Structures are given as C-alpha cells and as structure tokens.
Amino acid sequence: MTIHELIVLRRTVRQFQPRPIERALLERLVDAGRLAPSAANMQPLEFYVVDDPALRAKVFPCLKWAAYIQPEGNPKAGQEPMAYVFVLVNTKIREKMAEYDVGAAMENICLSALSEGVGSCWLISIDRPKIAEALGIPEGYRIDSVVALGYPAETSTVEEFKDSQRYWKDEAGGFHVPKRKRADVMHVNKF
C-alpha cells in the first residue's frame, strides 16, 4: 500500500478489539514518531508507552473521547485501547513551539499503525495532572497528547462535507466523518 493510500484510509478509531499489540510493533511505532521531522533538529519529544493492563485502567478515565457524540463515541466496555503512546516534551530541550514536532510524530505513528492493521485515536483533551501522577512523569516533562491504539472494532467512513463538520454514528455504530472537497480548499496560482 502506498503512503497516499494509507492517508486516504486513515480514520480515527474509538472501539478496539481485545487483542494485545506486540511490544515489537509498539517499538516500531515509537521509531516512526522519533524519526519525524523536528524543528532545528532539537528533538524534544520522548514517548511513554503504556500496554500494562493496570496502567491502561488508570489512564482510561483521564481521556475524553468524541465530544460531538458523547457518550456514544466513548469506547465500550471490552473495547478499550490495548496500548497508549504518550508524547512528552522534554522542556529542558525545548520549552515552546514543540507542537509542530508533535504533529509530525503523531501522524507518523498513526500511519505506521494503520500499515500494520492497528487503529488509532489521537487525543488532546486529557487530564494531564492525573496522567502525570499515574505514570510517574518527572518534572521537566510536559504531556502534550496521547495516541490510543488497538485493532479496530468499528468502521469509519469519509463523506462529503455539507452543513457541518460534526462527525456522527449511524444505527450500526459506524462513524461518518465529513471532509471538505479538494475544490473548496485548494488554490492554484490564484486565490
């Protein structure tokens, strides 16, 4: 599959199969993140992987899912993520402007996960103080965001943007994600 095909297929997943993700695969996903572009090659990002069931249970209540369709967008019991990768900013290396590095790293992780059949959900609305306490994150590190990972237990479909950007679920539980048309966002040689 080409990178373009992966980009077209990549959708957020919020319902996961209760199937563990091999540690070697999680290591490859961290490599995908750490090898992403970094402004001035400062490399302030570090990655905290959580796949232990007890730690996953501590982290899960600290995450907010699918705000447009609460509570239907939350993972159901037995369909929670099987792993998380938290992106930490080492503030001793870079205090500000790491969000560009984070975006590149997260997209690399999500696309690499999909190439291995693993679904992902990038979460920014999280309880950072509780997570830092649960995971023992030391001073000098800022939790930026987390990607929840697991083998998909749902489908997600892109549809044409009409009146709203709000995603929604159908009666069968499938996600529908409106996206603007290329003609509405692409300007070539003039605006």
User: pLDDT tens, 82-101?
Assistant: 999 999 999 999 988 999 99
* The pLDDT value given to residue 50: 98
Which residues of the chain fall short of a pLDDT of 50? Answer: none
pTM of the full structure: 0.92
Gap between the Cα atoms of 32 and 50, Å rounded: 17
Using CA atoms, how far apart are residues 151 and 162, in angstroms rounded to an integer? 30
Task: Answer whether CATH 3.40.109.10 is correct for domain 3-153.
Answer: yes
Over residues 33-44, the pLDDT tens digits come to 999 999 999 999
The reported pLDDT for the residue numbered 145 is 98
What are the CA-CA distances from residue 30 to residues 4, 35, 58, 163, 174 (Å)? 21, 8, 22, 38, 29
Please give the structure tokens belonging to residue 88: 């930490």
9: left (phi over 0), alpha (psi -120 to 50) or beta: alpha
Furthest-apart CA atoms within the chain: distance in Å: 55
